[in-house]
Chains A and B, each alone.
Chain A
């Protein structure tokens, strides 16, 4: 109106905001580039660095790539100022994935910060380090997280819990166990803040490992109200899953309908007639729609996709719930405590918490108690439109399943004009499903107001809702129909002015509603049909007209008046046929045919009308109409008026048949179809899937009831032996950290399947032949020394049975050993509680001879094309050329029938890749400066020719740039070039470093803290061996020796180490291997840094053993990778 004034107001407000902008960072944002950033970054003042970083942040915010500053920024990680640190971290996280090599530079600073006395610094360092997401540093992050999980500061522990999902996202299999271990530890924390974060980590890392929850279930329930709101949401879901998996569903709850309707279900399937009917019944909780509830519950447990796909094949029997899978909510303490601890959360300030708690009560609470969730849910409706929509989506399912719950609160669903259309539509749907005889009058009064709403789409929905209400409450049908009829009469006043689709939509919906009401009880609505037919002349909307005409055909034989009207009506329809819209034309044709089929009087007139219409329609412009009429004409050929033909003269059977077909197609009353709601999908309350109505990524239905319990109680047949023993083990053990790893294998059937597959699949290891070979071999040379005096009294004793064992030990140890033997003969009295008094140290003599390194395939004859087979194995030889080179034994075999000539292996792209890879791998290795000129592959002596079936062996000296990434080589033979990949084995990047036990222990003590890494894993190889022993009664070997042997062999044949000592427990009974300790020493080839490995055994001889592997090494990355490698090959099973 006053543009000038507007302009001034605008400038004024701008001017006033300028005042407020003083002191903000606005100038940095407006002009981030006005000074050069690089010198500021190198400044020695924190404030200048800060400014530079803010400018960079501004550039990032404006979408400009400033990653070229990365090295300079990363340098500033070392700054002492926390603001600089924070800004650097923001920058780093933004670009780390883009510049992985430079990001690695910052790792050492993070390591330093992790030891900072300020918990804030530690927490930030951990968060950023975990956020960098590079596979290379994952082991380091894992160690850091493990350390921070034991931090005294709650905040740091919480950040550690938050870092676990980040690690998990990297999908490194070898870390999965360790991560779960930390999750378990954090779930046991005494601080609610940590537990909340740990719960969130659990949900994303290992949601199936419910046995972790079993341990702390009570404690978690008690701590739940004190946990942070966000953690509460995750924890509630976990606890619910746990209770269902371990105790099953609650008998008194809504889910019990699954069982009660199971029997009636099969009956219903047989009789189509009442299938669609809704069976309503009253019980303690009030009415509830059983069919519906049953389906909802099924969907919760199975997931709708699975359920729907199965139900379409009608084999519902495959999913049966037995009585055992239900528990009583009144007697089960775990159920009670969950409900008790979640009920105050219904008062939470956080809507998501309220909805999550309501979900638990919905599924678990006895029906009569479910009503306590109603008020809190309704309270949630007073929030933003977005959350209102989410809450209503959930209420909708609740209300449809148990309308009685919400029926008294119908006023809460009355609609405000300010709400969004989606919210309004949902509210209408809920209102129409909870309406009762007492509330319907006020609801209709509201509906009348809604019809006048300016939002016409909403008004049309209201009319549809009226129809739904009338179907639910047949008593109201007459009132509804009267109201709707009045509406149709009123609306047609405005009809001629063409208000577009919206008004037409209202009329169509009104007729549709009337039609569906009439369908319920046609005889009582005869007058309504007549009124509608009378108003045909004034109703112009084609869809509405078509529906009324359909009704004429459908109810043409109803009552007394309609048949008499037909004559006039049909004539009228025929008269206006040409001016009708397409759908109306089609409907007119159908109707006339239907009338013809059912007609008893006036047949002659109808026939004439039909012939007239056929003539008109056959010349219609629309091909749909022409097709339809052709079809109808054929059907009705007996009824067509043909001049030269008299009725009844040619009573051909085919004409009779046609008549029957016509009856079938046109005459039969429409059958009741399944109500539409039966095709709905249901997801757990509160989930995203329930809103979008399809399974969103990450959605999981509830676990199968009692699945956890079943697993523990009786192991189904076919599950592997390991699993059984593991389950036993976890039952008897006192849940130390070591048993966590094995627990998860028995956690759920999901996992057990996995373990079965794994154990059966690992039988094809290359080691298998060597193990059997080892058994045939001579007994190992045993050297024994007392722990007290380290002087080696080497006794070569051929070991044959337990009786001989006495000679192997010192007197002191023997005494205690024998004492225990009597106890061990009847196990179960005091197995675990025994105190170890002493241990003996032994050494195995000839293990070295039996070591046979694993063979890998470099080139398969199938892929090479010319029948050349190349295998390689890492050799324990040490290269004499350079300490950077690893020796590899390569075997060439000609499997073809022709001679292969000129075979040689060369480095594929030696010089180009060298630099880049070098940087990436050796950031932390400073000693490599002088070694750059060592080639990747020392040129191999080429094989001039290889006859068929001839084998040639070559030793390669290879330099791996990285101890994890494969090396690309090119194999030339017959002039062809074949690319091959050489995979490194970190176990051979070390060489044996012989040393004394004393030296070992001394060095070990000098590498504590950050240089020490531990992991635990299970070991099963010895079981095979022991079993074999049992069969062969002559040579009963000592169990301990068998374990030591298989363990040492396994390690020595997979890594180039030196066995330093074996400590054997003496005081323990025969069956308990706990305390067995093996020490290995080695030295990293490239840097000559010593690497000490200690393996401690725990568990019973005949069961899978729990190994805890410890590596002490100054080189962090290398040490961790070596540790992982060892743990991995130890877990791999070798079958004899």
Chain B
């Protein structure tokens, strides 16, 4: 078996388990060991993946939810194994449960983006790109056939699709044509490279002499997208040659953990002042100056904007039911956002 197949399968198992159990740790697995056994038995057979499609698994083995929990307490009887084979196992679209019925037909499309950036020691932007996902949450009756098109597909550097996406329309017209699974799923992931700017700047300054190092970090908004930037955090690992650190900030809180990780959570940037972190690091006794420098990892979240600039043009349903509600959202987070000092 190719190694990547094993890794991919394990990732899939962990996704399914955390989806079922609302998290993945030893305690949760112990508490739900029967479901875990049943799921694993369904997902892998003789070392080869059998059923990994979450929708089918859900129909075969019911996830533990509040209702079934209460029911089982009341009646003392709980069977989470379905009596019938999910119809989707036989269809050519295994991701879709057969014929769901909804009173309200709704489709929500979310653009979730992560910005990866590297700013080098000189303050220059070395790499700035966005890794994004189109997440769709569909509640549609019958067998809907959707098409989704972008206003500017040319900016996409590369894409990966959910198996439901037909390849040929994308190849010829850059249109996503698909029969969606029921519920929430990742329709595609994409990558937009060579962006020109980042929404915030981080300016670290470290100057050291005589066994001490002065640290000063400034954080600010570079250009305004008209949206507020939330939950800004800054993390960095103090070099091993540092004995002690004394760091304070004018906004937010600074924590230094046992493994010499320093995290500064700023939250929202206040209007009146620029957040700054300052303090001194004491170096090991023989050391005059610092010769290695930490890398700052930045985290932030912006609601309502896709920093890549990708725009959804339209979403059509071929066989339109009477009422269809469509919703679009966007969100950008920091991915591997690194500032070297």
- Which A residues fall within an 8 A CB radius of B? 17, 21-26, 28-29, 47, 50, 54, 57-58, 61, 81-83, 86-87, 89-90, 118-120, 123, 127, 130-131, 153-155, 158-159, 162-163, 165-166, 191-193, 197, 200, 225-226, 228-230, 233, 344, 347-352, 354-356, 375-376, 378-379, 382, 384, 386-387, 390-391, 411, 414, 416-418, 442, 445-446, 448-449, 452-454, 456, 459, 490, 493-494, 496-498, 686-688, 691
Q: Would you call B220 an interface residue if the criterion is a C-beta within 8 Å of the partner chain's C-beta atoms?
A: no
Binds A, one of B38-46, B137-145, B224-232, B302-310: B38-46
Residues of A within 8 A of B89 (CB): 153-155, 158, 193
Closest to A25 in B: B34
A352 touches B5 (CB 8 A): yes
CB proximity to A under 8 Å, residues B73-127: 73, 76-85, 89-90, 92, 94, 116, 118, 120-121, 126-127
A449 touches B121 (CB 8 A): yes
Closest to B45 in A: A162
Residues of A within 8 A of B84 (CB): 118, 120
A688 touches B33 (CB 8 A): no
Q: List 29 A-B contacts (CB under 8 A).
A: A22-B73, A23-B69, A29-B33, A58-B33, A82-B82, A86-B38, A86-B41, A120-B84, A120-B85, A131-B45, A153-B85, A155-B85, A155-B89, A193-B94, A226-B92, A230-B5, A347-B167, A349-B186, A350-B8, A351-B4, A379-B158, A382-B116, A382-B191, A387-B7, A390-B3, A445-B120, A445-B126, A446-B120, A453-B292
Q: Would you call B152 an interface residue if the criterion is a C-beta within 8 Å of the partner chain's C-beta atoms?
A: no
Q: Would you call B240 an interface residue if the criterion is a C-beta within 8 Å of the partner chain's C-beta atoms?
A: yes
Cα distance A119–B83 in the bound complex, in angstroms? 10
A352 touches B8 (CB 8 A): yes
Cα distance A688–B167 in the bound complex, in angstroms? 29
Contact A233 B38, CB 8 Å, known A25-B33, A349-B162: no
Q: How many residues of B contact A (CB 8 A)?
A: 82
Residues of B within 8 A of A197 (CB): 48
Interface string of B1-23 (1 = CB under 8 A from A): 11111011101000000000000
Closest-CB distance, A225 to chain B (whole angstroms): 6
A166 touches B46 (CB 8 A): yes
Closest-CB distance, B90 to chain A (whole angstroms): 4
7 more CB-based (< 8 A) A-B contacts, given A452-B121, A686-B4 = A155-B89, A348-B160, A390-B4, A391-B4, A411-B126, A454-B240, A497-B286
Q: Would you call B184 an interface residue if the criterion is a C-beta within 8 Å of the partner chain's C-beta atoms?
A: no
A452 touches B4 (CB 8 A): no
A416 touches B64 (CB 8 A): no
A449 touches B120 (CB 8 A): yes
Contact A57 B33, CB 8 Å, known A449-B121, A456-B292: yes
Q: Would you call B274 an interface residue if the criterion is a C-beta within 8 Å of the partner chain's C-beta atoms?
A: no
Contact A416 B338, CB 8 Å, known A120-B85, A127-B45, A351-B4: yes
B118 touches A416 (CB 8 A): yes
Cα distance A459–B162 in the bound complex, in angstroms? 40
Secondary structure call for the B interface: mixed
Residues of A within 8 A of B73 (CB): 22-23
B158 touches A82 (CB 8 A): no
Secondary structure call for the A interface: helix
Q: Would you call B325 an interface residue if the criterion is a C-beta within 8 Å of the partner chain's C-beta atoms?
A: no
Residues of B within 8 A of A691 (CB): 3
Closest to B285 in A: A497
Closest to B50 in A: A162
Closest-CB distance, B259 to chain A (whole angstroms): 13
Cα distance A856–B79 in the bound complex, in angstroms? 58
B8 touches A118 (CB 8 A): no
A379 touches B5 (CB 8 A): no
Interface string of B24-54 (1 = CB under 8 A from A): 0001001111110110010001101110100
Cα distance A233–B5 in the bound complex, in angstroms? 8
B69 touches A22 (CB 8 A): yes
B92 touches A90 (CB 8 A): no
Closest to A53 in B: B34
Residues of A within 8 A of B159 (CB): 347
B158 touches A376 (CB 8 A): yes
Selected from A347, A355, A417, the residue in CB contact (under 8 A) with B161 is: A347
Residues of B within 8 A of A356 (CB): 2
Q: Would you call B295 an interface residue if the criterion is a C-beta within 8 Å of the partner chain's C-beta atoms?
A: yes
Q: Would you call B189 an interface residue if the criterion is a C-beta within 8 Å of the partner chain's C-beta atoms?
A: yes
Q: Would you call B294 an interface residue if the criterion is a C-beta within 8 Å of the partner chain's C-beta atoms?
A: yes
A414 touches B82 (CB 8 A): no
Q: Would you call B273 an interface residue if the criterion is a C-beta within 8 Å of the partner chain's C-beta atoms?
A: no
Residues of A within 8 A of B276 (CB): none
Cα distance A885–B286 in the bound complex, in angstroms? 94
